[in-house]
Amino acid sequence: MPRPLRVAIVGSGPAGIYAADALLKSEVAADPGVSIDIFERMPAPFGLIRYGVAPDHPRIKGIITALHQVLDKPQIRLFGNVNYPTDISLDDLRAFYDGVIFATGATADRDLKVPGFELDGSYGAADFVAWYDGHPDYPRTWPLEAEKVAVLGVGNVALDIARVLAKTADELLPTEIPPNVYEGLKTNKALEVHVFGRRGPAQAKFSPMELRELDHSPNIEVIVDPEDIDYDDGSIATRRGNKQADMVAKTLENWAIRDVGDRPHKLFLHFFESPSEILGEDGKVVGLRTERTALDGTGNVKGTGEFKDWDVQAVYRAVGYLSDQLPKLPWDIDSGTVPDQGGRVVQESGEHLQSTYVTGWIRRGPVGLIGHTKGDANETVSNLLDDYANGRLQTPASPAPEAVDAFLAERNVRFTTWDGWYRLDAAEKAQGVPFGRERIKLVERE
């Protein structure tokens, strides 16, 4: 009787779990069957849903319910707290599996090459997100002394950061934030948050719902300058061809023409302002200098030579995430991705790296919403199964599942399991019960 197809997936975020789901729904799952092991460097699964989404987004965190149902399948095992490549290498994985799918996502900050980015008070978005999401490998405190703050970028991460900075700690208390984050946010002195975009309203990458949610807080006054509402032919074409871009632009237009209210925290959305320098004094941020830009007819912008200095004491750089380079895999340094064709890893020679695949942000960069990752995973899995059907996969030396457990035990790797997640899940929910909260997140890795 033929043995099941053995597949390793590195990364337990949406990309990795969608790949597992696609394998389970394939014809191969019925005969001869599939056996999937998911390796995750964090102690708990779900990737950016747990460690990268703002705590006041329960709608997005609800995706965990669907991912949970996939990981509940008996054909899947979770090995948490296992780091690639220090705990298990590509050669190790090939010894145990017919195919290996990397779905490691993107968690580092993309660089913003402007003078002053290294100053005290200049922060990467990923670091701040990791702090308020209770990532175990980040400091337990965060400096929140600035009364006026700049956020650079016009994507959903920039909105998350601006919203967390502008809300009160008590507004965020009903969420799953851990106690250290609540205590930290209680010290937050920010009264003004300024979000800066280099281009115009039609080019903003906000999702319409996330943008509108800014205005739901009783403490946040969202302000848009009417002079920042401008479109050229390229912008108009974008609005006509993209319903989401049009909805975002309409929301911004409505905010620009209304009277400014009296909610205590002001959140300004600025467009056509390109950051040129983070200003410092005695090694600390004391301001931000931007150059005014203008549309060039195509939806892109050009500098006008007009500069403005903004009085801020902290700058958060939310200009995009970047994947970590994976040892033993080819790498495109410009895009920060693994070169591929349909999810098959492609070497410098142009040949496919046998039995090795990528999906999600490590494949195509940190673009699109979480749902877009599903189609990506389906394509990658389809090509893996095609290689399997046509005998192009490498035959592992030790395909028995117990060989992996023995290997990790021999290496003294303390791994967490899916049963362990159930215990962690129950413990976090139990912590929330006395306070009427759904859960309180546990932070410490131990």
Q: What is the pLDDT of residues 386-414, one digit of tens each?
A: 999 999 999 999 999 999 999 999 999 99
Domain end marker among 261, 291, 321: 321
**pLDDT tens-digit series, residues 28-84:** 999 999 999 999 999 999 998 999 889 998 777 778 888 999 999 999 999 999 999
Domain of 304 in residue numbering reads as: 108-321
Q: Is the pLDDT of residue 113 over 90?
A: no
Considering the domain architecture, whether residues 54 and 128 belong to the same structural domain is answered as no
Q: Is the pLDDT of residue 287 over 90?
A: yes
Band of pLDDT at residue 221, cut at 50, 70 and 90: very high
Instruction: Decide which of 181 and 371 is more confident.
Output: 181
Instruction: Decide which of 304 and 446 is more confident.
Output: 304
pLDDT at 320: 83
Domain count across the chain: 2
For residues 201-211, give the mean pLDDT.
95
* Cα three-residue angle 370-150-152, rounded to 5 degrees: 45
Position 444 in a domain: no
Considering the domain architecture, whether residues 188 and 159 belong to the same structural domain is answered as yes
C-alpha span between 102 and 358 (Å, rounded):
5
Considering the domain architecture, whether residues 309 and 338 belong to the same structural domain is answered as no
> Would you say 344 and 388 are in contact if contact means Cβ atoms under 8 Å apart?
no
Considering the domain architecture, whether residues 41 and 97 belong to the same structural domain is answered as yes
pTM, two decimal places: 0.94
pLDDT at 30: 92
Position 441 in a domain: no
For residues 166-191, give the mean pLDDT.
96
Considering the domain architecture, whether residues 175 and 51 belong to the same structural domain is answered as no
Considering the domain architecture, whether residues 84 and 140 belong to the same structural domain is answered as no
Q: Is the pLDDT of residue 97 over 90?
A: yes
**pLDDT tens-digit series, residues 243-261:** 999 999 999 999 999 999 9
Considering the domain architecture, whether residues 282 and 377 belong to the same structural domain is answered as no
Position 188 in a domain: yes
Considering the domain architecture, whether residues 384 and 262 belong to the same structural domain is answered as no
For residues 332-349, give the mean pLDDT.
94
Considering the domain architecture, whether residues 280 and 351 belong to the same structural domain is answered as no
Q: Which long-range contacts (CB under 8 A, 24 or more apart) does 165-171 make?
A: 165/190, 165/193, 165/316, 166/190, 166/193, 166/217, 166/219, 166/220, 166/265, 166/267, 167/56, 167/217, 167/219, 167/220, 167/265, 168/219, 168/265, 171/56, 171/217, 171/219
Q: What is the dihedral of CA 215, 217, 223, 224, to 10 degrees?
A: -20
pLDDT at 167: 97
pLDDT at 63: 85
> Would you say 357 and 345 are in contact if contact means Cβ atoms under 8 Å apart?
yes
Domain end marker among 321, 345, 365: 321
**pLDDT tens-digit series, residues 145-159:** 999 999 999 999 999
pLDDT at 58: 74
Q: Is the pLDDT of residue 1 over 70?
A: no
Considering the domain architecture, whether residues 279 and 187 belong to the same structural domain is answered as yes
Position 134 in a domain: yes
Q: Is the pLDDT of residue 366 over 90?
A: no
C-alpha span between 372 and 26 (Å, rounded):
20
CATH of the domain at 226: 3.50.50.60
Position 169 in a domain: yes
Considering the domain architecture, whether residues 86 and 132 belong to the same structural domain is answered as no
Mean pLDDT of the chain: 95
**pLDDT tens-digit series, residues 39-52:** 999 999 999 899 98
